[in-house]
């Protein structure tokens, strides 16, 4: 690193010479420093010192994490199921948010724990009211895509004060639900980052 700082841009060959090593011996070290972002390699020019600090490199790493690296399997219910059945599904599937789809399996809405609690403290008959009466419906549902940076989805969860977002695929007819991103997925990414064990 010091040699590159002092003499960069410098070829791998010249660095090896200064260290009395062969190019082959040095290659893995240069590969690691380049991959970690401390050095940059330009073809036919040589190695540069990027000048990036540890926290800048960490930020770069975080921005590269995609939704698909951490998404979970979505749990969906049809918009005509009863509030009672949605509550049972939420317990059986052990999730905090259900995604609601129409008869064509396209996203119609979202049901959170509080949506179901609110309906339960009313005087309605839970086995007869369909979830589409109480859900947050399209187009008010915040969605994300598998290629979105995970950090942008985290920011939107905070901004909108919600726990989860469906991962969708856009079709001509509407959105197909292909995954689920929740605060738990964010926690997992955070822990993986600390263990330097990103997917
Ligand atoms: P809880 O209500 O259990 O605390 P949330 O904070 O996720 O869970 O939900 C708050 C409200 O926001 C609920 O009315 C819910 O329907 C709605 N909501 C949840 N997820 C989304 C989303 N992705 N887009 C829009 N609204 C949502």
User: Over the stretch 150-190, which tens digit does the pLDDT of each residue have?
Assistant: 999 999 999 999 999 999 999 999 999 999 999 999 999 99
Domain boundaries, the chain: 2-55, 67-189
Of residues 77 and 1, more confidence is placed in 77
Q: Give the pLDDT mean for 61-81.
A: 96
Compute the distance between CA of residue 178 and CA of residue 166 in angstroms, rounded to an integer: 8
Which pLDDT score, from 0 to 100, does residue 198 have? 54
Residues 101 and 108: beta-carbon distance below 8 Å:
yes
pLDDT over threshold 90, residue 96: yes
Establish whether residue 113 lines the binding site of ligand 1, counting it when its CB lies within 6 angstroms of any ligand atom. Answer: yes
Fold for domain 67-189?
Answer: CBS-domain (3.10.580)
pTM recorded for the entire structure: 0.84
Following DSSP, what letter does each residue of 30-65 receive, concatenated?
A: HHHHHHTTSEEEETTTEEEE----HHHHHHHHHHT-
pLDDT over threshold 70, residue 197: no
12-17 contact pairs (CB < 8 A, 24+)? 12/46, 12/47, 14/46, 15/47
Indicate the helix (H) or strand (E) that contains 89.
Answer: helix 83-93
Is residue 195 very low, low, confident or very high in pLDDT (cuts 50, 70, 90)?
confident
Which pLDDT score, from 0 to 100, does residue 194 have? 87
Share of the chain above pLDDT 90, in %: 83
pLDDT over threshold 70, residue 199: no
Q: Does domain 2-55 have CATH number 1.10.10.10?
A: yes
Compute the distance between CA of residue 78 and CA of residue 88 in angstroms, rounded to an integer: 14
Pocket test for ligand 1, best of 97, 112, 116, 160 (most atoms within 8 A of CB): 112
pLDDT over threshold 60, residue 117: yes
3-class SS at 7? helix
Q: Measured between alpha carbons, how far apart are the two ends of the chain, in Å?
A: 27
Q: Per-residue pLDDT tens for 9-33?
A: 999 999 999 999 999 999 999 999 9
Q: Which atom of ligand 1 is nearest to the CA of 96?
A: 3
Residues 70 and 118: beta-carbon distance below 8 Å:
no
Q: Which atom of ligand 1 is nearest to the CA of 114?
A: 2
């Amino acid at each position: 690193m010091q040699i590159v700082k002092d003499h960069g841009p410098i070829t791998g060959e010249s660095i090896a010479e200064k260290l009395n090593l062969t190019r082959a011996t040095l290659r893995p070290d240069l590969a690691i420093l380049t991959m970690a972002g401390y050095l940059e390699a330009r073809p036919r020019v040589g190695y540069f010192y990027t000048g990036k600090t540890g926290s800048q490199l960490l930020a770069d790493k975080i921005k590269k994490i995609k939704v698909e690296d951490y998404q979970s399997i979505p749990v969906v219910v049809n918009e005509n199921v009863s509030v009672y059945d949605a509550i049972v599904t939420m317990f059986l599937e052990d999730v905090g948010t259900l995604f609601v789809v129409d008869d064509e399996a396209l996203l119609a809405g979202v049901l959170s724990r509080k949506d179901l609690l609110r309906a339960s403290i009313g005087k309605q008959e839970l086995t007869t009211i369909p979830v589409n009466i109480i859900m947050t419906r399209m187009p008010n549902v915040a969605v994300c895509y598998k290629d979105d940076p995970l950090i942008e989805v985290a920011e939107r969860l905070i901004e909108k004060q919600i726990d989860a977002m469906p991962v969708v695929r856009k079709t001509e007819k509407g959105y197909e639900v292909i995954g689920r991103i929740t605060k738990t997925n964010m926690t997992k990414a955070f822990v993986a980052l600390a263990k330097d064990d990103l997917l």
